[in-house]
Each structure stands twice: as C-alpha cells, then as structure tokens.
Structure 1
C-alpha cells in the first residue's frame, strides 16, 4: 500500500522510498518558507458583513497567524452603501446590520488593510467582467450622490413621485378590474 502512495509500483525499495520522502520534505520546507515570507505570500481574506462571516474570518486569521502567514488584508464584499437613496425598510435594516459588522471588522482589524466592495446588481462572471470590476480593488467606492444636498433631495422627490404615480396607476387598474367583475 505504501509503495502505491509514493508512486514506486511493486518494487518497494526502502532506499528509494526514503529518497522520495527526503525530496518531498525539501519541497514542503521550501513552500513553507515561501508562505511565511510576506514579500512572497499574502493571504487576502474575503468576507461579507454578516456575523458568521466575521466569526469565520477571525478563525481564519488566527489559524494563519499560528502558521506565520501574512493576512493583513480583508475585502468586505457585497456592501450596501448608505449613501445611496434607499426607500425600502428592508434595505435600510440591512444597511444598519451590515454597518454593525463593518464597525466590528474595523475594531478587530484596525491595523489591517480593509477594502469594502459594493453589492452589485449583477454577478461578476468572466474575464471581461472581472477586469471591469478590478479597478474597485485600488480605488475606494464613492457614491455619486451627496446626502443632504438640494440635488440629492430633488432626485429623491423625483423617485418618490414616480413610485407614487406607479402605485396610483396600479390602484386604478385594480379598481377598474373590480368594477368590471
């Protein structure tokens, strides 16, 4: 059985097996040195702003530290930024919940590089989409909207008027449907 594990076939030769193990040991030690050298290897933790992800990231960072592997970078993905105009109670609650965990990430990892990436309307799939998305790793996300400005308030009013018109049209359709039934 051991001979098959080390690729020696049926000619089990103790010297050959020891030589192969020594060769593997050298490769393992070289890989181990590379993993421990922060100039060659850095582990980037990617998570989302939720409890379980925060917990698992903490476990991962502790395990990597035990093995002396650099992990001073965290990407928090799928963040809903509160600068956006959000009228949904569900999204407002989600933003508040996410912010609680983002604050905890910053408290736990104040000496880490933390990058927040926005929740997107579509999945990043394929080379071109990944290339388009990659600029977000170097340039922090900034909302185009400025809260509390006249322009932002006018935009919110326009959105609310549009939603009101849609709701009134739907109400009219329902009323007409009941009258004809």
Structure 2
C-alpha cells in the first residue's frame, strides 16, 4: 500500500469471501476495541522469530527506539503501535515524528503539528506525541547562522543540512530536560531512509564543519583587530551567531553519543517483502553499522498469511513474498537481525484501539 500509516492484507480473500457485506462486517469488528482479539483469531498469523518485547519493556532506565526505513513501509504505524504498547506496559512514553509528512497525526487521529507535546488518550500510562517541523527548524538555524563568517560550498552544505540539525537539537532538548525525566521510553518515527542517514551522520559533519568555521573566524579576528572600533557592532553580531553555532556543535556531539549508545538506543529497521525494499534495508543497515548505530530488529510489514481461498493472485503474491523473505536469511547485513513478520490487514490502522491491535501482533 502507498500510505505509510497502512498495514494491510485482504482478510476477505483469505476467508474465501469478497463481498461488500463481508468487508463491512470486518470494519464493524474494528469499530470496537474489544473485538480486536476476535478479529485476530480470524487471521492466520505468519510464522516469525521471537521479537523479544519482554527485553524491550524490561527495566526503568530510559531507552530510545528509532524506527526507520524506505518510504511507505509502515514506519509510522509501527512506531505509534510501539509507543502505545510501552504505555500499556507501565512506561510513560513520548513518540516523536521527525518525518515532514506528518503521518503521526493521522495514526493517532489527533493534531500533533503544533510543536508541543500532545497527550494521547486511551492508554494505561502517560503517552505524549509530537511532530517536529524541519522547515521551522531550518529557518531558526538560518537566523542563528547569519554573521557567522561562513560562506562558499561548505556553508551551503551546512545550510542544506540544518533543518535536520536543528531537528536533532530539539530532540535533545526533550532527552535532556528535567521536565521530561518521568518518561522512560522515547520512540522516534524517522523520515525515509535518505533523510534518516543524513540525520544520523550529521553530528560528525557538524563537528567538522562548525569547527572549521570557528577556526576561520579566529584567524580573521586576529588580522582585523585594528578595525574593531569601526566594525564593533558587526563583530558583536558575529560573536552571538558563533556562540549559537558552538552550542549547536556541542549538542550534536551529545546526539552522536546518544545514537551510538547500545545500552540506551536501538534503531529498528522497518521494511516490506519486496526485492527493492529489502535491498534498501540492507544498505541502510550497512550505513547504520558504519555510523556505529545499534540495530537488533528487522520488521517485515505487510506479509500475506497462507490463503485458504482459491485466490490465485493471493497465492502467487505470498509465494513471491516467501521467496523475498528467504533472501533475508542469506543477506550478510540482515541475516543476524531478529526477524519480525507483521501481517497485512485490510483496514486503516488509525487511533489508539487499532494501534493496540497492531502492536499486539508485532511486539511480542
């Protein structure tokens, strides 16, 4: 399915019925949370390895989970369902979307775009959600960087990345603030693969780029000391901008340490059973390993269960998916990850009850 917030397969085709009446009956089941267990019994859930949710939920030390992968594979639904699962297991939780698409609002059926934490109702422990606006973050950096002395291609590259940089800076504010100490789980719904890789490599890039800018400024300051009286006002503006950049560089170093700490952070790759998606997931894991980002789990979403009907399309599609899943076992980047298969469902995963249902299927 094209939408990132959908995780679907045809229940009607599996049961051997395809009528409108059957579809409406399935939708009626989803309208009441107490019927999710009954609906689950109708699904022949595909075999999967141990997901290890007990390990994920154990302990009161704060832990961070980043979910990422190719666009349209269901990252947002998986992230939101994990956050709901944590909250229902006693962990005060924050789920933060760094994806410009703002699908998290759709998943929770709430407006989360205001830039502040929004409480999510219907869970056992406190759950708050937030969508970060990277465009706003980029504008804030552009203002901060004026007068810093940066120019040329290096500064352009820096500016191009700063929406992500300030986004990560905002994330660190939630991580470090005493106000949010009560939260023991923080879940990140990341942007598609390319943006995520830029974000993860950004701390090192900023460390080098801003460091060079600071050195250049010091050299210029020493050669223009005679003009301080004339250009004093401009120099003060440059000092303020430089201080902001230096603060950002320091925070990025903390982001880098957080991303690489296996005791407090885990990146979960989400994909679907297609050759293109698995290939991209393999490259993503290779890049994550290069950045020393800990990865343990691979979620394969939208997996068709065995069909009990005469649907030839369903049978061929499942056969193709099983062939793709076999390639994971032989992929040097993916073979050692914990494989979690998430079945396709033919309704939109939207709202806390639906997310709880999805989470009970995935996070076991």
Pairwise mapping of residues 65-80 of structure 1 onto structure 2 (< 5 A)?
65-80=289-304
| Partner in structure 2 of residue 22 of structure 1 | 246
| Partner in structure 2 of residue 110 of structure 1 | 335
- Taking only aligned residues, the RMSD between alpha carbons, in angstroms, comes to 2.2
- Any idea what SS the aligned residue of 1:115 has? strand
Structure 2: stretches of 5+ with no match in the other structure? 1-140, 148-232
| Partner in structure 2 of residue 81 of structure 1 | 305
| Partner in structure 1 of residue 286 of structure 2 | 62
> Greater relative contact order (Cα 8 A, min sep 6): structure 1 or 2?
2
- Any idea what SS the aligned residue of 2:346 has? coil
Residues 259 and 293 in structure 2, CA contact (< 8 A), matched pair in contact too = yes
**Following TM superposition, where does structure 1 have runs of at least 4 consecutive aligned residues deviating by more than 4 angstroms?**
7-12
Q: Which of 91, 101, 110 is matched with 2:324 structurally?
A: 101
| Partner in structure 2 of residue 6 of structure 1 | 144
Instruction: State the 1:4 CA deviation.
Output: 5.2
Greater Rg by CA: 1
The count of corresponding residues between Structure 1 and Structure 2 is 136
1:90 matches 2:313 = yes
- Quick one: structure 1 residues 4 and 130, their matched pair in 2 at CA, closer, same or farther if it must change by over 3 Å? closer
| Partner in structure 1 of residue 158 of structure 2 | none
Residue deviations 1:8-52 (CA, integer Å, cap 9, x gap): 799653332322222111100000100011222211111110011
Give the Cα separation in 2 of the matches to 1:7 and 1:19. Answer: 10
Structure 1: stretches of 5+ with no match in the other structure? 140-181
Give the Cα separation in 1 of the matches to 2:358 and 2:261. Answer: 29
1:121 matches 2:346 = yes
Q: Which of 27, 36, 39 is matched with 2:263 structurally?
A: 39
